[in-house]
């Protein structure tokens, strides 16, 4: 059964989408078959994986509203063994359209159950809020990976995120676990980055990934070419770090 990892943090701009795209692609490079699910109406994971988001017949939106099956919602990317359930701006309206629907916290989970065995990993990119789409991702997931940007306000909002994860654990998905924290946009030239890492380590009682993602301009450029970092600039520091992260995720899975 494929392992389902939701990448969540209600703060925007912390590296969720960058991690979803590049962790997925690097898991594929390690020989895994991967499905990436884009739960953000911005659709940046979709375009970052080279899929044109404007002319899609089926997306996460149609899937959530029961207008297509999960197999119909999937597209194969240009990368072998990497599949995507895309999203676009239509998804922004889903929250309202789901009002009053029974068991709306389980819509995604009930669909993913059909295809979980077809993949080694399913990576879900969450939107920057703790809304019903994020709850659906957490209800579906086995684990939650939290990217934390190495900046002064890194800890802000984290207690709210952890509270939400605890609520989902008690009420919706008892087997949900923390995958852990991954630090992003680390700048070795500043003391601040190092302080943030130390501060989070001493305040959070959770697994911290050894791999730290550096601030690397190539990571910011890659999405405009519709490519993950390992294919855009495989020798960059960004590519090296996401390869290491993928290896660490696989090792943890084997433990």
Give residues in contact with ligand ADP (CB under 6 A): 12-18, 44, 128, 184-185, 213, 215-216, 219-220
Neighbours of 99 (CB within 10 A): 8
Q: Which residue has the tokens 């997306």?
A: 59
User: Of the candidates 11, 16, 109, 215, which one interacts with Mg ion according to CB under 5 A?
Assistant: 16
Conformation bin of residue 204: beta by default, left when phi > 0, alpha when psi is -120 to 50: beta
Q: Which one of residues 9, 10, 17, 149 is an interface residue with Mg ion (CB under 5 A)?
A: 17
Least CB distance to Mg ion at residue 151 (A): 16
User: Could you tell which of ligand ADP, Mg ion, none binds residue 18, using a CB distance below 5 to 8 A set by kind?
Assistant: ligand ADP
Closest by CA to 178, choosing from 148, 221, 217, is: 148
10 binds Mg ion (CB under 5 A): no
Contact 158, 131 (CB under 8 A): no
Measured between alpha carbons, how far is 74 from 85 in angstroms, rounded to an integer?
5
> Using CA atoms, how far apart are residues 43 and 226, in angstroms rounded to an integer?
12
From the list Mg ion, ligand ADP, none, partner contacted by residue 184 (C-beta under 5 to 8 A by kind): ligand ADP
The reply to whether 53 sits near Mg ion by the rule CB under 5 A is no
Pick what 234 binds: ligand ADP, Mg ion, none; C-beta below 5 to 8 Å, kind-dependent: none
Least distance in Å: CB of 220 to ligand ADP?
A: 4
């Amino acid at each position: 059964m494929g392992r389902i990892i939701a990448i969540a943090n209600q703060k925007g701009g912390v590296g969720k989408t960058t991690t979803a795209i590049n962790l997925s692609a690097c898991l594929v490079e390690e020989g895994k078959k991967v499905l990436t699910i884009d739960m953000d109406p911005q659709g940046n994971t979709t375009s970052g994986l080279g899929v044109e988001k404007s002319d899609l017949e089926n997306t996460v939106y149609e899937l959530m509203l029961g207008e297509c099956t999960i197999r119909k919602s999937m597209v194969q990317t240009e990368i072998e063994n990497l599949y995507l359930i895309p999203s676009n701006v239509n998804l922004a309206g889903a929250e309202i359209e789901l009002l009053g629907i029974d068991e709306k916290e389980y819509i995604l989970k009930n669909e993913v159950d059909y295809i979980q065995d077809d993949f080694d990993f399913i990576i879900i990119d969450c939107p920057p809020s703790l809304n019903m789409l994020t709850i659906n991702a957490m209800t579906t997931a086995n684990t939650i990976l939290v990217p934390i940007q190495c900046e002064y306000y890194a800890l802000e909002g984290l207690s709210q995120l952890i509270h939400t994860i605890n609520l989902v654990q008690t009420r919706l998905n008892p087997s949900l676990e923390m995958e852990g924290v991954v630090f992003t946009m680390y700048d070795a030239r500043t003391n601040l980055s190092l302080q943030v890492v130390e501060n989070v380590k001493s305040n959070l009682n959770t697994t911290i990934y050894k791999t730290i993602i550096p601030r690397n301009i190539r990571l910011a450029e890659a999405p405009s070419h519709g490519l993950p970092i390992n294919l855009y600039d495989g020798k960059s520091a960004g590519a090296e770090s996401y390869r290491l992260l993928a290896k660490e995720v696989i090792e943890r899975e084997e433990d």
